[in-house]
Amino acid sequence: MKRLVGMMAGAAVAALAVPAFAVTTKTWTVTSFRDFDDGEAKGVLIGPQGDAQAGIGTKRTDLGAPLAMSSLALGKRVLIGSGDEGAVLSYEAGKVKPLAKLDGVTLVATLALSPDGKTVWAGGTPGGGVFAIELATGKPRKLTTLEGGDHVWAIVPSADGKTLWVGTGPNGKLFSVDVASGKSKVLWDSGKKHLLSVLEDAGGLLVGASDDAELYRVDVKTGAARAVADFSGQEIKAIAVRDKVIYLVVNEFQGPPSGTVTGPAKPTGIKPKGGDSSAGSNVPRPGERKGKGSLWRIDPDGRIDQLHALTDSYFTSLYVAKNGDVFAASGGAGKVYLIKDSDRSVLTAFDVDERQVLTMAGAPGGEAPLLLGTGDTGAVYEVGGARADALYTSKVFEGEALTRWGGVRFSSSGPAPALETRSGNTASPDKTWSSWSKLAAVRPAPGGASLGKVASPPGRYLQWRTKLASGTVLRDMTVYLLPQNQRTRVLDISAGDDPAAKKPSVTTQTGTTKSRSPVTKLKWKVDSGDDDEVTYKLEYRVEGDAAWRELSTNTGTEPFTRTDFDWNTELMPDGMYELRVTASDARSNPPELALQHSLISRPFLVDNQKPEVAGLVFKAGVVTGRVRDSFSRVDEIAYSLDGGDWTVAFPDDGVFDDVAETMTLRLGKLAAGLHTIAVRGADEADNVGVATLSFRTP
């Protein structure tokens, strides 16, 4: 049988004056850490159990440069290494001033303070230069140029201030530089591409490598290196040490790791992720790096534990507070995560407007970073104080169709949160969305929760936000909703086997041919618009007839819900038939809202009659005859002489193209005596007819 592509047929649906909404109420719940973390938190601390409360305050200052790549805290003053022609900037009390410019450098990747506090060491890319900046005057001078170290990623001064250890790329060399003379030598050639992070600890230098995420400890006197740990990933981006505990971040990217920068880091030209038009949107920006990151802890006894992991972003910077709390910044979501040392719980501490937090600076002994530096558009965020304007904005929720928004249930403690919603029909909020509206009819509910009503109009998308006063904790939020009922569409109907599939010959089978099954396999594909239960009604008619007859599916009182059916056509007369499949969601909706859709197949053949093999005559070594079918085309002819193998034969005109075909079977020279020939003919429905002829040769 043939595969049939259906033709659209009209669906009988009552015309409604208002949108038909499905009968099944659905919910959108925000309750876990991941749920809350999907939204945007300005000055909001997201707890590990899934709650939101006012967090640490921040003050944003535009940097006037494409990005803040590195930073160095000097009390309340913070130096910023930018991505703007080697500029080193100074930030203090909300003001940004230029300090120095490094010749031949575009991106300032590292800053370090000399032990005497008078000199800042700086380096970046390109050029391989190591610079000394007089802190009092801002005057820079090039100390040395490292041969084979075009990218300077990390500078670590020795405790006595006489030596600098410098991690470079693209040849993965660790240099030792004499401060007095500027002379340099390779302390360790790693054989890797980049040494992105270098930090001194009691055992020597900790070095993080790229393109393999391997951590090494290098002896500063001999240059001997020993691998500390090997991680699954492409780079170790940052290392921190507190009380002999090592913290580090490992990243894995779709594409080259971050250490492969060979030119200036350019701004993306994308607006910050904050603002009314994009709040809560997780749409990737052009050129955004795809990767995942993990945060690890190595104890003094060598035990390695993973503290946190990002599946859709990567880590850029680390800061470990005096109390052991760890702050880890992300480069794809604009967030800084806090991992509590007491129980290793994970919180979202900061969520900035930009999508990249590239650096964090912290004062010694501080309980939080002093400053955050960003990319996308260069800005710095000064951290401190309670957040008076803490605002949490949920992600944009899609109802998958025009949706009626119902009640809300939320749990909180402290002063009641001020909740608002807005709705629209575009994936990102724009001017066509409704204005923010306060919840209506807010009232207490059993169990300490609160109830309210969404005042926003029906739409495909919804978003909510809440302003959190000091002491307010929002633990969960559930919105009840009713999507518009969606029609299930029947897309395609097939009857019988796939005509493209190669089928074996039925007339050349040895022995008696197996009886052809009268069962026609019916299948159809549908596009289910929603989760409603769908039932199907099957009807058939002979091509050309006006009346449809229902096809019994033998399910008794239960509705038919499958998308295939085996139709026994044994009692049906041969002919071309059409099948109509009607899908209905009446089981899930009241009669006035139920929807249905029908599709009519193209005509297909039902043929159970065997072809007739007749008129067999033997004369002079030749048997002639004919094969005729009542309805369908003759498709095969074969014969067997005296019980031998079956031999394929063609009709006299050479083509099987008619319901009747004549044949001439040339048997050649035969032995004298009695012979019997059996002739089979098959139609295109694989029905087989057979006849025999006995004859004698002299």
Question: What would the 3-class secondary structure string for 669-697 be?
Answer: CCCCEEEEEEEEEEECCCCEEEEEEEEEE
Provide the pLDDT for residue 9: 38
Instruction: State the average pLDDT over residues 644-656.
Output: 94
Q: Does position 156 have pLDDT exceeding 70, yes or no?
A: yes
pLDDT at 275: 41
One domain for residues 504 and 647: no
Res. 531: pLDDT tops 70? yes
* Same-domain check for residues 165 and 186: yes
Averaged pLDDT for residues 444-460: 93
Residue 465 and residue 561 in one domain? no
DSSP 3-state of 156: strand
CA-based nearest residue to 676, from 636, 641, 645: 641
CA torsion, ordered 287, 288, 294, 300, to nearest 10 deg: 70
pLDDT for the residue numbered 5: 37
Which residue intervals of 164-223 are DSSP H helices?
none
Mean pLDDT, rounded, of the chain: 88
By the 10 Å C-beta count (0-12 exposed, 13-18 middle, 19+ buried), 361 is classed as buried
How far apart are the C-alpha atoms of 209 and 223, rounded to whole Å? 16
Residue 108 in this model has a pLDDT that exceeds 60 = yes
- End position of a domain, from candidates 449, 465, 480: 480
Can you read off the two tokens belonging to residue 47? 């707890």
Using an 8 Å Cβ cutoff, are 172 and 152 in contact? no
Residue 334 gets the label, from left (phi > 0), alpha (psi -120 to 50) or beta, of: left
Question: Is pLDDT above 90 for 457?
Answer: yes
Q: E strand or H helix at 22, and its extent?
A: none
- Per-residue pLDDT at 4 exceeds 50: no
Answer yes or no: is 168 within a domain. Answer: yes
Residue 254 lies in a domain: yes
Residue 467: count other Cβ atoms within 10 Å of its Cβ: 17
Structural domain includes residue 348: no
| pLDDT of 471 strictly over 80 | yes
Position 592 scores a pLDDT of: 84
Whether 326 is covered by a domain: the verdict is: no
Pairing mode, strands 535-542 and 549-550: antiparallel
Q: What is the pLDDT of residue 634?
A: 95
Percent of the chain with pLDDT strictly greater than 90: 70
Is residue 55, in this structure, part of any structural domain at all?
Answer: no
- Banded pLDDT at 25 (limits 50, 70, 90): confident
* Same domain for 222 and 166: yes
Residues 475, 403 within the same domain: yes
CB count in 10 Å sphere of residue 504:
7
CATH of the domain at 537: 2.60.40.10
Q: 294-312, pLDDT tens digit by residue?
A: 999 999 999 999 999 999 8
Q: What is the structure's pLDDT at 261? A: 40
Average pLDDT over residues 206-211: 93
Domain harbouring 253, CATH code: 2.120.10.30
Structure tokens given for 188: 């360790």
The model's confidence at residue 180, banded by pLDDT at 50, 70 and 90, is very high
Is position 372 within any domain?
A: no
pLDDT for 387 equals 67
Structural domains in the chain (count): 4
Q: Indicate if the alpha-carbon torsion angle 169, 171, 176, 182 is positive or negative.
A: negative
Indicate whether 198 and 306 sit together in one domain. yes
pLDDT at 115 over 70: yes
pLDDT of residue 259: 46
Q: CA 92 to CA 614: how far, in whole Å?
A: 107
Question: Both 85 and 231 in a single domain?
Answer: yes
| Model confidence pLDDT, tens digit, residues 316-362 | 999 999 999 999 999 888 899 999 998 899 999 999 989 899 999 99
463 and 518 together in one domain: no
| Residue 259 forms part of a structural domain | yes
What per-residue confidence (pLDDT) applies to 49? Answer: 86
Q: 89 or 593: whose pLDDT is higher? A: 89
Q: Are 84 and 78 in contact (CB under 8 A)?
A: no
Most confident of 19-33, 49-63, 189-203: 189-203
User: pLDDT tens for residues 485-514?
Assistant: 888 899 999 998 766 666 788 888 876 665
Which of 480, 508, 537 represents a domain boundary (last residue)? 480
Q: What is the pLDDT of residue 84?
A: 81
Verify that 79 and 170 share a domain, yes or no: yes
Q: Is residue 343 part of a domain?
A: no
Q: Locate the DSSP E strands across 26-169.
A: 26-30, 40-42, 44-47, 51-54, 56-62, 68-74, 77-82, 87-92, 95-101, 107-113, 119-125, 129-134, 140-145, 151-157, 163-169
The strands making up 379-386's β-sheet, listed across from edge to edge, are: 56-62, 379-386, 371-374, 357-361
Q: 74 and 105: one domain?
A: yes
Torsion over CA: 10, 11, 15, 19 (sign) = negative
Residue 255 has pLDDT above 90, yes or no: no
Whether the predicted pLDDT of 272 surpasses 90: no
Domain boundary pick from 452, 480, 508: 480
Select the more confidently predicted residue: 667 or 22.
667
pLDDT of residue 501: 64
Strand, helix or coil at 194?
A: strand
How far are the Cα atoms of 229, 237, 331, 419 from residue 211, in angstroms, in the given order?
14, 11, 18, 47
Average of per-residue pLDDT across 573-584: 94
**Residue 89: per-residue pLDDT:** 96
On whether both 447 and 500 belong to a single domain, the answer is no
Hey, what are 441's tokens?
């009819």
Phi, psi for 180 (deg, rounded to 5): -70, -45
Of 119-123, 278-282, 408-412, 426-430, the least confident: 278-282
In which band, very low, low, confident or very high, does the pLDDT at 22 lie, cut at 50, 70 and 90?
Answer: low
Domain that holds residue 186: 67-267+295-312
For the cut 60, the answer to whether the pLDDT of residue 203 exceeds it is yes
How high is the pLDDT of residue 281? 33
Q: Kindly indicate the confidence band of residue 14, based on its pLDDT and cuts at 50, 70 and 90.
A: very low
453 and 588 inside one domain: no
